[in-house]
Amino acid sequence: MSYHQFSLKQWHTFGIDVYANNIVIAKSKAALFCQCWQKKTWKTEPILLLGQGSNVLFLQNFDGKVLINRIKGINIVETTDSWLLHVGAGENWHKLVKMTLDKGLGGLENLALIPGCVGSAPIQNIGAYDLELDQVCEYVDVVFLSDGEHRRFNTIECCFGYRDSIFKHSYKDQYVVIAVGFKLKKKWKPILTYSHLRYLNPKTVTPIQVFNAICRIRRRKLPNPNIIGNAGSFFKNPLITTSLASDLLVRYPNIPQYLQKDGKVKLSAGQLIDHCLLKGLRIGGAAVHKKQAIVLINTGTASSEDVVNLARIVRKRVAEKFNVLLEPEVCFISSRGITDSVEVIT
């Protein structure tokens, strides 16, 4: 039997009014142990770990306990060529980026203003403006829910991919990220390959100037979740074959393509949606953002069903026009936990 007494509206950035049986804020590994393992409640009652809820869509009320990860702490060690950071999973991501720059440590500036906590970053292998987390991540510390075992995964063991990691698959729902390690090289090199950053001079630009430029871009294009409910980029940028890419290049030469190391070609999901003329499309209280098509928003009255129906229409239109199937980047949460988002919108 479930007792949905606690509203999750303030705990996820989509701001949809769903409920959980209980909400607990965990500020230490010991608190997590108490809540997850002591009475083995995780075996009978579903438990969901949240940071800032910036990349989730609740499909319905949650039939269990939600743990808000607020394990804090930042430790910095200097080596000959690098700065090594050990950061608690509950630290705010953007504040971490700004703190490193305030201390003169470059390397994270391209990931400015990505919402969420540090512990969520490796799960999703966050990335922006041609920098991905795996390029600066040294390790991920986790605790397993079954027995409290502490394990450190190095970068290779994390199996990082495009918006993907081992934590989404082999260890899904079995662990808690408690800390992440970073390595920021002292010999800093700016990453300015993104078109809107090419005006910056790579010989003279500073990390803080790159940070400021990216903050301006993101604030101009993306809605503030504190004002308009959203989960950032709703869809992943699709990876397609070179054959399909060649065909699309002939038909749509103005849609940018990015050749990847594995031979596949990445497209901009936002550009595809925009070419389908879907900006502003509204289903109930959900809508495609008018400035950035890859963002689906809660206009204030959206239900989970509204968002799902809108995502389904967007996916269908893009598939019909480009023969490309979009996959959600946002994590879908059912009454019992994480569920297959592609299956939901198919």
Q: How confident is the model at residue 35 (pLDDT cuts 50, 70, 90)?
A: low
Same domain, 155 and 47: no
Co-location of 108 and 247 in the same domain:
no
Q: Which residues are bridge partners to 237 per DSSP?
A: none
Report which of 36, 248, 236 is spatially closest to residue 142, judged by C-alpha positions. Answer: 36
Q: What is the pLDDT of residue 41?
A: 54
Q: 121 and 202 share a domain?
A: yes
Residue 289, pLDDT above cutoff 70: yes
Same domain, 204 and 106: yes
pLDDT for position 36:
59
For 148-179, how does the pLDDT look when each residue is reduced to its tens digit (9 = 90+)?
788 999 999 999 998 999 998 877 667 889 99
Residue 149 lies in a domain: yes
Does residue 340 lie within any of the structural domains?
A: no
Domain membership of residue 35 as a residue range: 6-69
Is residue 175 a part of any domain in this protein?
yes
> Both 56 and 79 in a single domain?
no
Q: Are residues 216 and 243 in the same domain?
A: no
CATH code (residue 187): 3.30.465.10
Residue 153 within a domain: yes
Q: How much of the chain, in percent, has pLDDT values that exceed 70? A: 95
Tell me the C-alpha distance between 266 and 241, whole Å: 9
End residue of a domain, out of 221, 250, 282: 221
pLDDT tens for each residue of 200-237: 999 999 999 999 999 999 999 899 999 999 999 999 99
Catalytic pick among 70, 163, 218, 317 = 163
Let me know if 81 is exposed, middle or buried by CB neighbors in 10 A (0-12, 13-18, 19+): exposed
Active site residue 305: no
Boundary-marking domain end, from 30, 48, 69 = 69
Residue among 269, 264, 301 at smallest CA distance from 284:
301
Selecting among 91, 303, 329, 341, the annotated active-site residue is 329
Q: Residue 39 — very low, low, confident or very high, per pLDDT cuts 50/70/90?
A: very low
* 13 assigned to some structural domain: yes
Q: How far apart are CA 199 and CA 188, in angstroms?
A: 19
Cα(20)–Cα(11) distance, rounded to whole angstroms?
Answer: 11
CATH number at residue 15: 3.30.43.10
**Stretch 276-292: mean pLDDT, rounded?**
97
The count of structural domains within the chain is 3
The question of whether 91 is a catalytic residue gets the answer no
pLDDT(40) > 60: no
Quick check: 1 pLDDT over 70? no
What percent of the chain has a predicted confidence (pLDDT) above 90? 80
153 plus 38 within the same structural domain: no
Q: Which pTM was predicted?
A: 0.89
Catalytic residue among 233, 303, 304, 341: 233
pLDDT digits (tens, 9 = 90+) for 93-126: 999 999 999 999 999 999 999 999 999 999 999 9
The 3-state DSSP class for residue 149 equals coil
Q: Worst-scoring range by mean pLDDT, 141-150, 168-177, 257-266?
A: 168-177
Indicate if 85 and 27 belong to the same structural domain: no
Does residue 173 lie in a domain region?
yes
Pair 133, 208 in one domain: yes
pLDDT above 90 for 86:
yes
Query: Do residues 181 and 80 both lie within one domain?
Result: yes
Domain closes at, from 191, 221, 251 = 221
Give the three-class secondary structure for 20. strand
Rg (C-alpha) for the chain, rounded Å, is 20
Same domain, 81 and 185: yes
Does residue 226 form part of some domain? no
Residue 233 annotated in active site: yes
- 343 assigned to some structural domain: no
Check residues 310 and 162 and name the one with the higher pLDDT: 310
Is residue 93 located within the same domain as residue 155?
yes
Averaged confidence pLDDT in the chain = 92
CATH number, residue 281: 3.90.78.10
Q: How far apart are CA 53 and CA 50, in angstroms?
A: 6
pLDDT reported for residue 43 = 59
Residue 33 pLDDT class (50, 70, 90 cuts):
low
* Cβ pair 39, 312 in contact under 8 A: no
